[in-house]
A and B are shown apart, each in its own frame.
Chain A
């Protein structure tokens, strides 16, 4: 295997990991604030449909990506109104969001099925992008990949290096105490939910604008759910999240390569690989921290109503 082939594989792994990174980093912030939004899949697929539609209509990938993020944000606002505003059950509301998102995406995307457009442009720096072995990997990706990594760094910095991040994590661990301190629990949670929605929408638009530059119904194929698993897998830490996403991206790519090389196993067994890998990863992770107790934000999934 030559150096360039290794690079090729790494590039595909990174592209497969990018939508997971973007969606999961948003959900990480939401869960750190103590809210469990299971609607990632719905927001993602809406982002994919709306993003593609907007890109076709305006001819601009950037506007498409923004529209996709906006679609995720809109759905997240509905979720936030229900769960943060009205203290409705978070699990059920998230499922409602998923079903609603799948339906809406089908409605929005219907006129655009079968259309194609050029994938998002890749970075092109003279000399650097052509470096053998690492050029394409480091300097030849599209903007989404860099945005995903920048987003991860920004979130990591915000959560652990700013006062706002400290407050957000405190709210996620104990909403009653933070409320008693006079901190705006519901306001911050709502903002976190909106951020998570925008990220999920952006991740979805990456799928339809760069990964496979067309729209197909249900094209997210469970990636939203894998992003959710990834947040648990990463024990709510951004750096581990990137590592996990690359692992899962690797599993997806491995499955594609193995299918192409027809290694005797039935195709269905290989398609099941990412899902089985998710379960195995969750099991291994919990085996690893048997003594330490749960790492989850303590108030995760609990609803909050301020009483005096």
Chain B
């Protein structure tokens, strides 16, 4: 017996939506088996993961707060991945963005008079830092042909160690009882809350606006067209005269800027000071989100909400049912594997043919 892939003539839009949905279902079923093996009732786990977080205002806000950075980073990554560029260092760009924006906040601490510019300056600073950090792998790739996969990933570790050093060393609050964290930011350096007495902050709006903007850029502008052509057919792009180097730099700038913005939005929104770690792996989870959303910004928004739901649900399940957090991670990895496999089924018919392997 052998597996044969026969290309499909066209790609049906129904299959494009069904494939991720069915993958999700398959991953949930397998997750249920794993939960049963761990000695917990699968229905109880399902309720904890997917129903409970949707039933209360605070957990709904937590989902939105988790989904915002994921959607923002993944949208930026979609530009890279669409163009067959593999920036997997968004986590590092996120951290550097948060650190740079945080430095702006700390430098302007306590300034009086006109202070409305501080928050925009932080957001711009974080975005620029993310772009600059993403330029390292991009320039190395364009000028020297160094694999961007490895350099962007190695820079994640460097960024995390840099933040760790800064938060424990130069930026530590001298009056903070030796806790490894900076002074809490002034109110002028915080993203405003959307509702009185709640946790939802304006970073969610920033993320949403970015996704809308990205949808337009990717679908309706020459730059977006170039990105899509280079990804779909590098040869055609070369004949059309698109500069691969320029596109590489631009795509990395978009993804690095988005990750940096997400980083400073997290610091200025949820955290409110600099700490040795500011990300629970958003930059890596965003890679799953990007592919789960089929590299299109609206799809990414949905995928980010789904992943945020399972993450918040996973935290609840850990407390209520003593299910380990690693289960959530294994589930997310499995989900990505299924989505990638199912994606093939929309492009090819899979046939089992008798005969030898080829």
Write the residues of chain A forming the contact surface with B, with a CB cutoff of 8 angstroms: 38, 42, 78, 81-82, 85-89, 91-93, 95-107, 110, 179, 184-187, 217, 222, 225, 228-229, 232, 266, 268-269, 271-272, 275-276, 278-279, 282-283, 286-287, 290, 294, 305-307
Contact = CB atoms under 8 A, between A and B. Distances in A.
B329 A279 contact: no
Contacts, number: 156
A275 B145 contact: no
12 contacts: A42-B333, A82-B340, A86-B345, A89-B340, A92-B291, A93-B337, A107-B326, A228-B150, A275-B155, A286-B144, A287-B144, A305-B348
A266 B332 contact: no
B162 interface: yes
A103 B329 contact: yes
A276 B154 contact: yes
A96 B154 contact: no
Contacts of A272: 157-158, 161-162
A303 B335 CA distance: 21
B7 interface: yes
Contact of A87 (B5, B88, B326, B336): B5
A103 B331 contact: yes
A99 B147 contact: no
Interface string B141-173: 000111101110111011001101100010000
Nearest to A270: B161
Main secondary structure of the interface of B (DSSP, over half): helix
Nearest to B164: A268
A229 B150 contact: yes
Interface residues of B, number: 54
B287 interface: yes
Contacts of A266: 165, 169
Contacts of A78: 337
B343 interface: yes
Nearest to B143: A286
A99 B81 CA distance: 18
Contacts of A305: 5, 7, 348
Given A88-B340, A225-B153, A283 B144 contact: yes
A92 B162 CA distance: 28
A47 to B, nearest CB: 16
B294 to A, nearest CB: 11
Give the one of A266, A272, A290 with max B CB within 10 A.
Answer: A272
> Max chain A CB contacts within 10 Å: which of B140, B144, B150?
B150
